[in-house]
Structure 1
Amino acid sequence: MAKEFLSSQDVEFEAIDISTDQKAMNEMVEKTGAMGTPVFIIGSEVVRGWDRGKVSRLLNL
């Protein structure tokens, strides 16, 4: 859902599959303290889980 929403809003994003990238998973846990996905880092804000309203506000959509 998140990828579809961001694409429909013409938002560029990088999707990282932490199930296949141990280094990326370690970095995510270090930066966010989160073990689950999705996690969004927008500017200095961290959004854990898919929160369309919060993501939209942070992206000024």
Structure 2
Amino acid sequence: MTRFHRHHHSFLPCPAPPPTAFRAGIEGVVRVRVDVDAQGYPTDVSVETSSGNSDFALN
């Protein structure tokens, strides 16, 4: 099942997990903060807490 997220008026597929992490059943939770303006557009996005797993880090 493909999950989608909204990005500037379009829907993009969520990135696939790293194959090694997927096969090992490794999961992670990332807490993201998104500030929006009065029209609902994002003005700032930041990672509040990471998964703590370097396999999920984007390089």
TM-score interval for Structure 1 and Structure 2 normalised by the shorter chain = under 0.3
* TM-score (normalizing by structure 1): 0.25
Name the structure where helix makes up a greater proportion of residues: 1
Pick 1 or 2: higher relative contact order, CA cutoff 8 A, min separation 6.
2
- Asked which structure has the greater CA Rg, the reply is 2
